[in-house]
């Protein structure tokens, strides 16, 4: 029975996976399904995985039902055996009736307790698939060790460069550059970037180049969103800098508006309502949410906002977090020409003023701010202090007049 029960459980688990994968695929691809009017096709396609799951569930429940009778059958067998073996002794007078009935009662009570224990074992058996999945997930390889080794190396290099730069004056930490050199690594496919990127703190830097040349990958490496074992070369972001990678895809969670906007805040004063309100006003989106920063409504904001609002508020959240370095993908992609200039001027102010809405503290007393971005349109590159052209296998620094429309 054990082998058969486990087989039924495995078949049910496999059917559950197929059903969940089908539903997940339908949900993830719903915009495509809706656009091409294929809803009925997906609904009809659900019959097969649902039917398979129902069949597997029925077989498993049937096996469990039969298993549940095992304690009763076992007790009945022992009672019959006791009657057959010791009933004659009662008739012959060699065994007292009271002892005989007491033994029967003990067997019945044992059967009840054994039934409870057996039911508990059956429930434990049902958890095996979930326990197996949990064990597999908990033991999957992670990048934590790679990150730890990388952070130790970055800390060592930062200390070394600070010591070297300290000889030439004060503010050595603020003069440690961000750099990337001659990278070669594997991530499904082989990446090989020959060339050097060196960005001083307090710089607005831009990556341009043909689609598919690796701009996004390099930005993720610099933003520490992606950690890969390098076959050669180096990626260096000074250890003391708080770096924020801003993904191209906006993401909001269910909660209040302020909870979403202040998600990355580490210093309480950065999340002050007046500061949040001011940054919303700068980027012209203070009225995109009813109630604004005072709203206490908990919503699924991903579905409540327009595409433009989602992208703009993603930038707002990054500025509120007030990191030392922002690595952002195509910050002007979802806005028009006029708003594109607003976005780029805001990023320029973030760099020049060493933060946005930082109060009355002198600019010189603040840590430099750096922005590294990929550009969606040529007009955004005019705001950059440095421009790097990314081509398959080659990185090079170019001037503004070398920027071509074919890069976008």
What are 304-337's pLDDT values in tens digits? Answer: 888 899 999 999 999 999 999 999 999 998 888 8
- pLDDT given for residue 82 in this prediction: 82
Q: Closest Cα to residue 233, out of 293, 193, 284?
A: 193
pLDDT for residue 406: 75
- Mean pLDDT, each 10-residue run in order, the chain (408 residues): 78 88 83 74 87 89 82 83 81 81 84 82 75 79 79 90 87 91 83 90 93 87 81 89 90 87 89 92 87 84 86 93 93 85 94 90 89 89 93 88 82
Q: What is the pLDDT of residue 35?
A: 66
pLDDT digits (tens, 9 = 90+) for 70-99: 888 888 888 888 888 888 788 878 888 888
| Residue 164 in tokens | 């070297």
pLDDT of residue 203: 95
- Report how far residue 284's alpha carbon sits from residue 92's, in angstroms, rounded to the nearest whole number: 103
Cβ neighbors of 202 (< 8 A, separation 6 or more) are 174, 351, 354, 368, 369, 370
**344 close to 332: Cβ distance less than 8 angstroms:** yes
Q: Which strand ranges, in their side-by-side order, compose the sheet holding 178-187? A: 232-236, 178-187, 189-199, 394-398, 386-391, 204-208, 370-374, 325-329, 243-246
Which long-range contacts does 68-72 make (Cβ < 8 Å, 24+ apart)? Answer: 68/119, 68/122, 70/1, 70/118, 71/111, 71/114, 71/115, 71/118, 72/111, 72/115
Annotate 306-319 with DSSP letters as a single string: -HHHHHHHHHHHHH
The model carries a pTM of: 0.74
pLDDT value at residue 350? 95
| Whole-number pLDDT of residue 11 | 87
Residue with tokens 């800098």: 241
- Give the helix, strand, coil percentages of the chain, each rounded to 5: 55, 15, 30
Rounded Cα–Cα distance for residues 286 and 279 (Å): 8
Helices (H), 127-250: 128-138, 144-166, 215-222
For position 293, what pLDDT does the model report?
85
CA 314, CA 251: separation in Å to the nearest integer? 8
Handedness of CA 356, 362, 367, 371 (dihedral sign): positive
Residue 320: its pLDDT value, please?
A: 94
Q: Are 219 and 207 a contacting pair, CB within 8 Å?
A: yes
Query: What is the C-alpha to C-alpha distance for residues 250 and 247, in angstroms, rounded to an integer?
Result: 7
| DSSP assignment string, 93-139 | TSS-HHHHHHHHHHHHHHHHHHHHHHHHHHHHHHTHHHHHHHHHHHT
């Amino acid at each position: 029975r054990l082998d058969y029960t486990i087989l039924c459980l495995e078949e049910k688990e496999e059917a559950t996976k197929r059903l969940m994968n089908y539903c997940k695929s339908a949900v993830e691809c719903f915009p495509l399904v809706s656009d091409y009017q294929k809803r009925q096709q997906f609904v009809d396609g659900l019959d097969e995985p649902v039917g398979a799951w129902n069949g597997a569930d029925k077989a498993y429940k049937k096996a469990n039902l039969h298993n549940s009778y095992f304690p009763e059958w076992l007790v009945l067998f022992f009672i019959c055996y006791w009657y057959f073996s010791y009933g004659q002794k009662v008739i012959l007078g060699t065994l007292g009736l009271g002892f005989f009935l007491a033994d029967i009662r003990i067997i019945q009570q044992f059967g009840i307790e054994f039934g409870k224990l057996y039911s508990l074992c059956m429930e434990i058996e049902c958890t095996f698939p979930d326990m197996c999945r949990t064990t597999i997930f908990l033991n999957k390889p992670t990048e934590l060790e790679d990150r730890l080794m990388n952070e130790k190396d970055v800390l060592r290099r930062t200390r070394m460069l600070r010591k070297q730069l300290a000889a030439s004056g004060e503010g050595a930490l603020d003069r440690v550059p961000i750099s990337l050199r001659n990278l070669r690594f594997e991530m499904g496919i082989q990446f090989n970037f020959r060339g050097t990127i060196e960005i001083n703190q307090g710089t607005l830097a831009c990556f341009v180049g043909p689609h598919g040349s690796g701009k996004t990958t390099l930005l993720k490496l610099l933003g520490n969103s992606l950690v890969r074992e390098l076959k050669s070369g180096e990626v260096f972001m000074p250890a003391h800098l708080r770096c924020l990678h801003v993904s191209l895809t906006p993401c909001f969670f269910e909660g209040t508006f302020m909870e979403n906007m202040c998600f990355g805040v580490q210093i309480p004063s950065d999340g002050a309502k007046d500061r949040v309100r001011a940054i919303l006003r700068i980027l012209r989106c203070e009225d995109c949410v009813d109630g604004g920063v005072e709203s206490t409504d908990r919503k699924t904001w991903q579905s409540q906002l327009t595409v433009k609002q989602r992208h703009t508020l993603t930038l707002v959240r990054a500025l509120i977090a007030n990191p030392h370095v922002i690595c952002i993908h195509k910050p002007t992609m979802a806005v028009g020409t006029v708003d594109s200039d607003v976005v780029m001027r805001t990023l320029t102010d973030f760099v020049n003023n060493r933060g946005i809405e930082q109060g009355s503290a002198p600019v010189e007393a603040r840590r430099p701010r750096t922005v590294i971005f990929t550009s969606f349109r040529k007009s955004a590159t005019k705001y950059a202090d440095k421009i790097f052209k990314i081509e398959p296998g080659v990185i090079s620094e170019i001037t503004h007049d070398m920027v071509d429309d074919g890069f976008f």
